[in-house]
Amino acid sequence: MSECIFCKIAAGEIPAERIYEDDLVVGFRDLSPQAPTHVLLIPRRHIATLNDLQPQDEALVGHLYTAAAKVAADEGLAERGYRTLINCNEDGGQTVFHLHLHLLGGRRMRWPPG
Ligand code: 5GP
Ligand code: ZN
């Protein structure tokens, strides 16, 4: 996906504050943080939304979550806690159409979310 901003970040073609990477996943700080820690974890491979997941992507999505837990531990959030979420399409509030897991922490999260 040549026009996808998160594909470009994954490829290192545009800058981002990368704090995690492995063969499958890249983690970087959100440009507009909504909490003291706000990291986005993305698969290197382009998947537009949760609706586009295929059965063969299940291990990849599991990996996204284990990567998020590692980043949370590295950021000192594990004990106090944190929130992970994936927005899907318009009602979910998705604005970038490359699947990403938000990791938010460092403050008390509210429920229900807005
Ligand atoms: P969504 O609303 O799609 O769930 O989340 C997209 C997130 O990506 C937003 O929190 C937004 O601040 C972040 N974002 C959008 N463009 C960029 C960018 O170029 N770099 C970084 N680091 N974050 C971005
Ligand atoms: Zn993409």
Q: What is the pTM of this model?
A: 0.98
How far is the centre of ligand 1, averaged over its atoms, from the C-alpha of 101 (Å)?
Answer: 11
pLDDT digits 0-9 by tens, 69-88: 999 999 999 999 999 999 99
Between the alpha carbon of residue 62 and those of residues 19, 34, 59, 67, the distances in Å are 19, 24, 5, 9
Strand partners of residue 74: none
Check if 84 has its Cβ closer than 6 Å to any atom of ligand 1: no
- The minimum-distance atom of ligand 1 relative to the CA of 102 is 4
Residue 111 φ then ψ, to 5°: -140, 135
**Tokens describing residue 71:** 């980043």
Question: Count of residues for the chain?
Answer: 114
pLDDT digits 0-9 by tens, 43-69: 999 999 999 999 999 999 999 999 999
Task: List the catalytic residue out of 63, 98, 100, 102.
Answer: 100
